[in-house]
Structure 1
């Protein structure tokens, strides 16, 4: 976890799938090859999304694999890079199923897994699963409590119901490694709640002034809720990396089109402002392998002091 989130440092990761602009059908055999390349080149994390259902009015047309199946494949196809969910929809999955899956991925990856958790934001999807979207805040808190207990040290299974004479339960195989829990988005919770319960807060990119204000709000919450603990702050950013290294940065939705020199300046400012991790959602006509190689050769050495 320290290779992804560390005080006074910035690490860089990538979000899967890595697709050319306009491509909506991923070749997941190719994605595994790209994941190995990112691992070998020194990227620090691979992020996997949880998109249970697609619809005509949903802005993301990409068909995403089930996150647990993809994370299992990544665990055995990579060696050092952290694997992170960005984010498992905590409100639409039973927390004990999530706990079992998280323990499994963490074991297969030799303790490289970070469990990012979100609440989902589409009322029609809640309805499809028989859930009430207006209950998501309470569902998120209640499911987090059950999940955190099941993954705690020592672990403790909180059953939904416990009839008289019911046995106690445990999750096996047992593991000495901890699965860190990360809030991705707010989940309808206050920043103070997130600071108390999560290793950190992962948010979408915002323009610099708004991002500084958001980070200031986060630091104030950490000082109130967990003043003696390290709490990470991370950003998911869209990146259209130009093949002209000198191209100035231009804002695009949730990120930038930029050459690498301006990108280094953007990342340096984020590091100075307290951001600990940035994951890039690639959106470019360039081959993803070429972008990975350029990042590894010319950008990562500015930020990753330890291979």
Structure 2
């Protein structure tokens, strides 16, 4: 069996985020306004502390290696490992999730070392979300061929999974006869859970076999139900009887009118809190286990939105 098939081992933090028949809610950082490029990351740390105190289940951090005027997202993201380290030191209970480390553009042993470091600082609260990147010019900038991304993703996943499992194994790229046997520190009490964010160029069967779950983007409800049905069929084919989570990243422009009906936006909704609760209930009933909110703070302060969702929406789901 490939070394990356480690999803059967339970993870307490993964179970808090992805649970059968339940839906948990997280937040994606940074929280920005439309077209905002300069971010106060000290303020983002305050948002993280607040989300932790109010009972959100996860904080998500993106990996954006390079910026370009051709890209739709102008935000100057911090290096994900630096931000995750700061979040680990400033929160106590909430899960920390990379959404997602671009596995094809980083050496898997570097990713393993960073993941183990964050997990140690977070006392076991880290879930390692992994993607393949979808911007061919970035591959060229890093000396990679975008046509190799599917194979690279699988190869790097196997090396990474071996390294962050318990017991940990280092699989070197090359091993001359006189090479020592390497290992990674700090040692972990439990394997770090691996989560596929997007498809990474892989089939849903591959994802169901190797990952604790599948995280995808928001789609209109009927399309999302079809995607979940495809996912469940893949899980039954490849891991029959096992649980695999299904999660969605959803944009949220929360109205200050609690009764405003939901209006579709790109990758999410503008809505009042009552319609938001109804939408999330429908998603739970359709098989979604986790939603991370990409909050827009153009019209309202982010703190107000975080507090309103915590007071009026979370109680329906985080019991």
> The TM-score by the shorter chain falls in which range?
over 0.9
> Which residue of 286, 292, 302 maps to 2:316?
302
Q: Deviations over 1:121-179 (max 9, x none)?
A: 00000000000001000000000000001112211110000011211110012111221
Aligned partner of residue 97 in structure 2, secondary structure: strand
CA contact (8 A) 2:39 2:75 kept: yes
Aligned partner of residue 216 in structure 2, secondary structure: strand
Stretches (4+) displaced over 4 A:
none
Q: TM-score, normalization: structure 2?
A: 0.95
> Which residue of 241, 247, 251 maps to 1:238?
251
Tell me how far apart the structure 2 counterparts of residues 227 and 286 of structure 1 sit (CA, whole Å).
45
Matches within 5 A, 1:148-187: 148-187=161-200
> Which residue of 105, 128, 137 maps to 1:92?
105
Tell me how far apart the structure 2 counterparts of residues 78 and 112 of structure 1 sit (CA, whole Å).
10
Aligned partner of residue 76 in structure 1, secondary structure: helix
Which residue pairs with 1:209 in the alignment? 222
Aligned partner of residue 46 in structure 1, secondary structure: strand
Tell me how far apart the structure 2 counterparts of residues 101 and 22 of structure 1 sit (CA, whole Å).
30
> Which residue of 67, 81, 84 maps to 1:68?
81
CA contact (8 A) 1:5 1:232 kept: yes
Stretches of structure 2 that go unaligned for 5 or more consecutive residues are 1-13
Which residue pairs with 1:258 in the alignment? 271
Q: How far apart are 1:22 and its partner, in Å?
A: 3.7
Does 1:110 find its partner at 2:94?
Answer: no
Which residue pairs with 2:236 in the alignment? 223
Paired residues in the alignment total 305
Q: TM-score, normalization: structure 1?
A: 0.98
Aligned Cα root-mean-square deviation (Å): 0.7
CA contact (8 A) 1:203 1:234 kept: yes
CA contact (8 A) 1:20 1:286 kept: no
Aligned partner of residue 17 in structure 2, secondary structure: coil
CA contact (8 A) 2:31 2:302 kept: yes
